[in-house]
Amino acid sequence: MTTQQLHQNILDKKSFLCIGLDADLNKIPPHLLATEDPIFEFNKAIIDATHDLAVAYKPNTAFFEAYGLKGWLSLEKTINYINHMHPEIFTIADAKRGDIGNTSTMYAKAFLEDLNFDSVTVAPYMGKDSVEPFLAFKNKFAIMLALTSNEGAFDFQTKIVDGEELYKTVLKTSKTWKNSENLMYVVGATKAEYFTEIRKIVPESFLLVPGVGAQGGSLQEVCKYGMSKNVGLLINSSRGIIYASNGNDFAEKAREEALKMQQEMAALL
């Protein structure tokens, strides 16, 4: 998918909502546990109920690896289901990978070619040669951690390096890498006041924004400071949508929460 197509989908759906598919067997509706593949059945129901309201789905690989072989199968079925039923939806493997060059190439192929995700999240600590292998795929993206939504973000990301915060150095440095036009960035909504500065460095890049809702970030604030000409935002919600209910009505309630967010977004576009 190109960013132009992603932008068009946002305009068509009046939404820049990304739904995090983080299915946890301890939290999904108990009646699903009797099915052969509860994780996939849960994801499928969420996708069926929300696909017209979301422009992106983001399965976090941890929630699949936690179930070993069965989990990996659920991940394959989930991405195949999205790609088959809703090929216009942007898909993100939230894997936060990063390793030396030849090893990053293995990860990149696994997620961007074999599983056919549109994008994968990556960690910046190992630098250029750990990220560039993810940028070598036409119309695919690496979404690099810049400023995350968790408390630990202040441990290193906001430390001052050469007169500015580390996350700014990370953003600026990454723009010099090969195929850097295939980069997007993770920026937490809990730090909305930082978006103005970030937009000075990456005015047009898409930003994947976790932390609205459960983690306390404000959608209005993020849009005020973070929206670009082509919108440039994918606002993620996971728990607030997928665990809106754990009864038989979980998919319906998930749709209600997604609809609330989509309507807020439509008003902000």
Residue 217 structure tokens: 């970030």
Taking each helix axis as running N to C, give the angle between helix 68-85 and helix 38-50, from 0 to 180 degrees, rounded to the nearest 10.
20
The tokens 């609809």 sit on which residue? 259
Q: Is 191 a residue of the active site?
A: no
Count of all residues that appear for the chain in the document: 269
Report, in Å, the least distance between residue 133 CB and a second copy.
10
269 binds a second copy (CB under 8 A): no
Identify the residue among 13, 58, 97, 191 touching a second copy (CB under 8 A): 97
**Residue 49, C-beta contacts closer than 8 angstroms, at least 6 positions apart:** 251, 252, 254, 255, 258
Question: H helices within 86-165, ranges in order?
Answer: 101-108, 128-131, 153-156
Task: Give the separation between CA 139 and CA 133, rounded to whole angstroms.
Answer: 14
Helix, strand, coil percentages for the chain (3-state, nearest 5):
50, 20, 30
For residue 212, what is the DSSP state? Answer: B
Which of 104, 119, 237, 262 touches a second copy (CB under 8 A)? Answer: 104
CB of 66 to a second copy, least distance (A): 4
In the complex, least distance from residue 82 CB atom to a second copy, rounded to whole angstroms: 17
Q: Which of 96, 109, 253, 260 is catalytic?
A: 96
- Show contacts with a second copy in window 13-72 (CB under 8 A): 22, 24, 60, 62-63, 65-66, 68-69, 72
Residues 199-218 that bind a second copy (CB under 8 A): 210
User: Segment near a second copy (CB under 8 A), from 35-43, 92-100, 225-233, 241-249?
Assistant: 92-100
Q: How far apart are CA 75 and CA 59, in angstroms?
A: 8
Find the binding residues for a second copy in span 151-170 (CB under 8 A).
Answer: 151-157, 159-162, 166, 169-170
The residues that touch a second copy, with contacts defined as CB under 8 A, are 22, 24, 60, 62-63, 65-66, 68-69, 72-73, 76, 94, 96-101, 103-104, 106-107, 109-110, 114-115, 123-131, 145, 148-157, 159-162, 166, 169-170, 173, 210
